[in-house]
Amino acid sequence: MSRGQSWTRALADGDVTHVVPSVITADATLGADTARLVTVVPDPRSPYHRARKGEVGLREGLALAETVTGAVTEDARLPEDCRRPIVAVVDLPSQAYGRVEELLGIHHALAAAVDAYASARTAGHPVITLIVGTALSGGLLAHGYQANQILALDDPGVVIHAMHKEAAARVTRRTSDELDELARRIPPLSYDVADWAKLGLCDELLDVENADDPTETDVRTAKDALTAAVERARRGPRDLSNRLTSPGARATRVASHRIREALAAQWH
């Protein structure tokens, strides 16, 4: 069982539902709210062989969009401060790389998922991401990156980056050890979740006892953190400006701020 499956089942109030074999949902009580959990999981029997290990592919992107849009539609008549939280539980190796995916328009499928999450966030649904395992490349962009708040387990098995280290080594013509040495001086190159958190993209790192098989204490820790994240999301902006204005971002993303200021000055 993948980490995504384990955490979804542990957090859920009851049964887990398969939208498609590789996308599951469940409801979880977070304080006074009932949140909708959404997770991409491995499907070894998928007809799309590039999407059998938990990658976000054609079917996954459309299923995510359907699930999130369904929650938005169901809650459309509720007051905005009563619309349910949507929690993306993330444990995925990447998007699905394959000729079939490219021919059939994986960019459209993943864009549909992104649009659904962004639409939910702007409609007043607190969108929270809980990263429990690997979160790489376009998989994270489609499932998790549009959240008001991003939480992650503080665990060596949590890896958040643009590409796998082996691929990055090949592209940059360096060894993995050389990349690790660079990462000590340049945080965005690091594969350590604690370094990633310093970039201002992470709202909280969670200490847990067992990231692979969460204990009752781990579940309480995660639910308390998710509940607090929901409250922060409801009080905060509905755009993603907090990723540039957080203390971490102000310290480590100085160039991003300067570029935006220069562009704004030229535009006006």
Of 88-97, 153-162, 176-185, 211-220, minimum mean pLDDT range: 176-185
- Distance between CA atoms of 95 and 108, rounded to whole angstroms? 13
**Domain definitions of the chain by residue range:** 3-267
In the prediction, which pLDDT does 209 show? 97
In the prediction, which pLDDT does 167 show? 81
pLDDT digits (tens, 9 = 90+) for 126-163: 999 999 999 999 999 999 999 999 999 999 999 998 88
Q: How many CB atoms lie within 10 A of CB 149?
A: 24
- Distance between CA atoms of 29 and 36, rounded to whole angstroms? 9
CATH number for the domain formed by residue range(s) 3-267? 3.90.226.10
In degrees, to the nearest 5, what angle opens at C-alpha 119 toward C-alphas 74 and 153? 95
pLDDT digits (tens, 9 = 90+) for 60-107: 999 999 999 999 999 999 999 999 999 999 999 999 999 999 999 999
pLDDT digits (tens, 9 = 90+) for 231-265: 999 999 999 988 888 887 888 888 888 998 899 99
How far does the chain reach from its first CA to its final CA, in angstroms?
A: 53
pLDDT digits (tens, 9 = 90+) for 41-66: 999 999 999 999 999 999 999 999 99
